[in-house]
Amino acid sequence: MAGFEDLIAVLPAWLMLLGGQLLLIIIPASAAFLFLYRWKGNPLRGRKIQPGFSSAATIRREVRYSILTALVFALNGFCIYLFMTEGWTLVYAEFSDYGWLYGTFSLVAAIVLHDAYFYWTHRLMHHRRLFHAFHRLHHTSRSPSPWAAYAFAPLEAVVQTMFLTILVFVLPLHVTVIYLFMVHMILRNVIGHSGFELFPRGTAAHTVFGILTTNTHHDLHHSAKAGNFGLYFTWWDRICGTENPDYRKTFARVTSRHIASEREEERTVAALKA
């Protein structure tokens, strides 16, 4: 009976984590979907990376599995919460313990380490013996929408969420840094699966900003089903020779098409005024 009472006592904490996780996924995905796919005045419509749109059935599937992923993430978050209450993790609550400089460093370090973790687990899940159980469902979104970002099979959701579990045991992290890391992760993932190129023209070939994965970078991974395994940065793909050879050309074509469509609209407006 004591065990059941203990479970009831911690249930509100888990429900709060679940609600927070659902909001973290649903709000950005819904906002991006409504802006890019439902708003007729979308100024970025010329930057659709692939022709055509996902079916309503595909979107519904993506939403269902995104909710399931939120459930898995919340369960893992609850485990981390329990570990924290026992004092087993390196999570801390006072910035004065390590200072603001370290807090900033730890956020950057978490992002860089997550990118490495994602790249190598992503490649591993593309192994023929693992792909069907772990990653095939995510790739059923051949032309992804914002809802595809977290449309994972349960096993892949576990792999994705385990990074933070490992990290809190090896790197001191302030609770705010964990929250900012989660927000950054979800926003970048939703944007990367948007199906539209939002990065400025020239980003892919830029000396500095070329290290960032553009939306075209990950979209090509979905359409080609190989290469471009990175999440935030392109360096692992470049080092390991897994970057799609058509990446820069495709990015240039998509961004140039957008500029051309804007000029056509300007010419049309000018002609009407004349």
- Residue 227, C-beta contacts closer than 8 angstroms, at least 6 positions apart: 220, 221, 237, 242, 243, 244
pLDDT for 217 equals 98
Count the neighbouring beta carbons within 10 Å of the beta carbon of residue 78.
18
Report the interhelical angle of 99-125 vs 175-192 (nearest 10°): 40
DSSP code, position 193: T
Report the C-alpha gap between 43 and 233 in whole angstroms.
27
| DSSP symbols for 23-74 | HHHHHHHHHHHIIIII-TT-TTGGGBSSSS---HHHHHHHHHHHHHHHHHHH
Consecutive H or E run containing 91: strand 91-92
CB 265 within 8 A of CB 42: no
Tokens representing residue 3 in the block: 């065990």
For residue 245, the one-letter residue type is P
Q: What is the pLDDT of residue 53?
A: 86
Q: How far apart are CA 89 and CA 173, in angstroms?
A: 9
Question: What is residue 200's DSSP assignment?
Answer: P
Length of the chain: 274
CA distance 42 to 183: 24
pLDDT (tens digit per residue) in 179-209: 999 999 999 999 999 999 999 999 999 999 9
Any long-range contacts for 203-210 (C-beta under 8 Å, 24+ apart)? 203/251, 204/247, 204/248, 204/251, 204/252, 205/248, 205/251, 205/252, 210/234
**pTM, rounded to two decimals:** 0.88
Contact yes or no for 193/145 (Cβ under 8 A) = yes
Quote the pLDDT of residue 263.
Answer: 53
Burial pattern 223-240, b for ≥16 Cβ within 10 A else e, equals beeebbbbbbbbbbbeee
What does the pLDDT read at residue 3?
A: 56
Q: What integer pLDDT is reported at residue 5 of this predicted model?
A: 58
pLDDT at 54: 84
Single out the residue of 202, 209, 245 nearest to residue 227, CA to CA.
245
Q: What is the full per-residue pLDDT of the chain (274 aa) written as tens digits?
A: 445 555 555 667 667 777 778 888 999 999 999 999 999 888 998 999 998 888 899 999 999 999 999 999 999 998 999 899 899 999 999 999 999 999 999 999 999 999 999 999 999 999 999 999 999 999 999 999 999 999 999 999 999 999 999 999 999 999 999 999 999 999 999 999 999 999 999 999 999 999 999 999 999 999 987 899 999 999 999 999 999 999 999 999 999 975 445 554 455 344 334 4
